[in-house]
Structure 1
Amino acid sequence: MRPGKCVACEVPGVELSGRVNLHGNGTRARPILGPAALGEEPKVDEVLTRRYECQRCGAVMVVGPRGLVPGYLYSAMAIGVALLLWGAMRRQDAEVRAAISVQQIAGASRPERWSTLARWARAAASGRIWATIELDPSGPPRELAERVSRILCARAGPGTSEAERIWSASGHAR
């Protein structure tokens, strides 16, 4: 799907006159890690993204399916559920890694830790994963993870388990 406007110069993707300002510029395969659906085993998958080039300023935009996070290999849904398990549900790092990570081998220096969780918590709190969430990222990472997961959970609405609500909200949040 062609973007509505250029992210750099904000020219419309297609003008009312029909002139196309954002030209398709090929597809690219992009890896995505984590479970494909809630409760499934983590895996390495590949999705196709499409590039668009702005004819006015030359900026290139990449468009892909919901749940892709620029700069992250894991899906937004996998990150959201990981933050719920680690932050709100207080699960151990190894248990969260088993549910989310495709790489089950832990580092030799601290095999009980998965330092990615703290990085994700700080990034999510500062709006780098979901731009609509912005908290003070200076708190303890586990508390940040809990706060982020509570915000995502509230956005999904009532009716299902916390994990299902997080999965849904994570993929739709921007």
Structure 2
Amino acid sequence: MRIHGHGLVQRQQRGPPGPGQPARTQVLACRRYQCQGCGAVWTVLPASAVARKHFSAAAIALALALWGLCGLGVEQVRGLVNDWKHTGAMPGRWRSLGRWAEQVATGSLFSALEVHVEGPRAPWRPGPRRCCVAMHRPLSEGCHWPGRPSRGPAM
């Protein structure tokens, strides 16, 4: 296989850069390569990026943890993870959050992690505590997030 550099493309990545920091949009320069044999072109993303997602992997994981494990409402989660203030046609909803939960549950997002799904599978209704990703603190320890009082898990 012979590949040559095929330029750079810009890609946005949204979410907080670190715990407790405000969300922001940053522009990443991603390298493209082209196979000289077949002409196929592909883009190499940094480790923080998720293919076909505007949000970083850390931002998606944070959003799911705050919503599913800590029990924060959709608007609160959106305010912490999304720097865009436009709420769309239906305030109080954030379709991406439900899509991400479904994708984690079906293995199409974060497929390298062990996933545990609680509750009925059909029809899928994402909600707090339905989708838990392995490698988190035990739920018995509660959720400790800046600006949120510490408490045990909500049932």
| 2:75 equivalent among 94, 119, 125 | 94
| TM superposition shift of 1:144 | 7.2
Number of equivalenced pairs: 135
What is the letter of the counterpart of residue 140 of structure 1?
R
Equivalent residue for 2:140? none
% identity of equivalent residues: 33
TM-score in terms of structure 1 length:
0.66
Deviations 1:70-96 (A, max 9, x none): 111111110000000001111111110
Residue 132 (str. 1) matches residue 112 (str. 2): yes
Q: Is this contact kept in 2: 1:67–1:75, CA < 8 A? A: yes
Q: Is this contact kept in 2: 1:84–1:145, CA < 8 A? A: no
Equivalent residue for 1:116? 96
Counterpart secondary structure, 1:132: coil
Question: CA 1:99 to 1:130, structure 2 compared with 1: closer, same or farther past 3 Å?
Answer: same
TM-score in terms of structure 2 length:
0.73
What is the letter of the counterpart of residue 59 of structure 1?
A
Structural mapping, 1:78-89, within 5 Å: 78-89=59-70
Counterpart secondary structure, 1:69: coil
| 2:131 equivalent among 125, 143, 146 | 146
Report the Cα distance in structure 2 between the residues aligned to 1:51 and 1:144, rounded to whole angstroms: 39
- Please give the root-mean-square deviation of Cα atoms over the aligned residues, in Å: 2.6
What is the letter of the counterpart of residue 74 of structure 1?
F
| 2:84 equivalent among 78, 103, 110 | 103
Residue 52 (str. 1) matches residue 33 (str. 2): yes
**Greater strand percent: which structure?**
2
**Structure 1, unpaired ranges of 5+:** 1-10, 12-20, 155-160, 164-174
Residue 67 (str. 1) matches residue 48 (str. 2): yes
**Greater helix percent: which structure?**
1
Report the Cα distance in structure 2 between the residues aligned to 1:145 and 1:42, rounded to whole angstroms: 25
Counterpart secondary structure, 2:51: coil
| TM superposition shift of 1:122 | 1.0
Deviations 1:104-159 (A, max 9, x none): 332343x22222210111122223332324767754323676323xx2537xxxxx
Question: CA 1:54 to 1:32, structure 2 compared with 1: closer, same or farther past 3 Å?
Answer: same
What is the letter of the counterpart of residue 125 of structure 1?
A
Q: Which runs of 4+ in 1 moved over 3 A?
A: 133-140, 143-146
**Structure 2, unpaired ranges of 5+:** 138-142, 146-155
